[in-house]
Amino acid sequence: MFKLLISLLIITFSYADEPIVPIPLNEPVNVEKAKLGKELFFDPALSRDNSTACVNCHNIYNGGADERIVSEGFNGAKGNIQSPTVLNARYNFKQFWNGRASNLLEQANGPLTNPAEHNMDSQKVELRVNSSEKYKKSFQAVYGVSYIKYALVLDAIVEFENALTTPNSKFDRYLRSQEELSKQEKEGYTLFKQYGCITCHNGINVGGNSFQKMGTFIAYNTNKKFPDKAAISNDERDINVFKVPTLRNISLTAPYFHDGSAKTLKEALTAMSKHNLGIKLSDEETAKIIAFLETLTGQRPKILDLF
């Protein structure tokens, strides 16, 4: 943790003139743990009815989110909010839309024990993995244990999620003076800053580091109650307040918003400019900002190609 903090401070200082900083090219990861975590991430045996794996709701090969408005879990149960991306989640200051998890360890435990998702508990998970000779050999090799505890299952999954970074986007290379943006992309970035989008979408994850109300200037109406920050704080001022989502790989993570109501980036920009900026973007401005947002698509995480 100390090394990560130092590296983030160095990166932030190096790009002090920019509100966005590049993703590090070589984040420290325990590869053997991450590879084991990947197996668990893909294994439906971690759900009670053997139907749901983490990857079912987080397509890590295409944006890390879910292309459905809400995901489906145990016995076909539907979720109550759009599944956010797990790519670059290590950079979020909180996890889940309402920030109820402080870190990836708490986040990994959530879906496994949620009745509408994997519908398991620590004892059932331990029973499943310890009945597998493959897992017993793998955990013995990686952790040196003969009995697999639930905490080690979570630890491996978290290490895999830590490895899901997407560095070297075109915009990151631009920040490193390794590549130029097109005229349209540069103008889109300028508009992004001038109109105030950068106020919430900044830092290493271009978001993920604060809460914001959906409907700051013009109320955002919804006919359905979503688990917002008020569900945690019991403060009515936190109604419709959510963690600001990352814009990394945003062109790959439709549908957008907590309710999945925006099917395209154009729809998302139109809604955000109205409700959270109090303005109306022209078609030309929208196209320029989208061009900039598309430069935030990074490289495929290296861990996905290791086996």
- Distances from the Cα of 117 to the Cαs of 52, 60, 73, 220, 227, in angstroms? 7, 18, 4, 28, 15
Task: Kindly state the tokens that stand for 134.
Answer: 């493959």
As to burial, measured by CB atoms within 10 angstroms (0-12 exposed, 13-18 middle, 19+ buried), residue 221 is: exposed
E strand intervals along the chain: 211-213, 241-243
- Distances from the Cα of 11 to the Cαs of 35, 83, 181, 197, in angstroms? 27, 29, 21, 22
Tokens 């509408």 correspond to: 116
- The verdict on whether 117 is a catalytic residue reads yes
User: Active site residue: 27, 117, 159, 285, which one?
Assistant: 117
Cα–Cα distance measured from residue 192 to residue 204, given in angstroms and rounded to the nearest whole number: 16
Residues assigned a catalytic role:
117
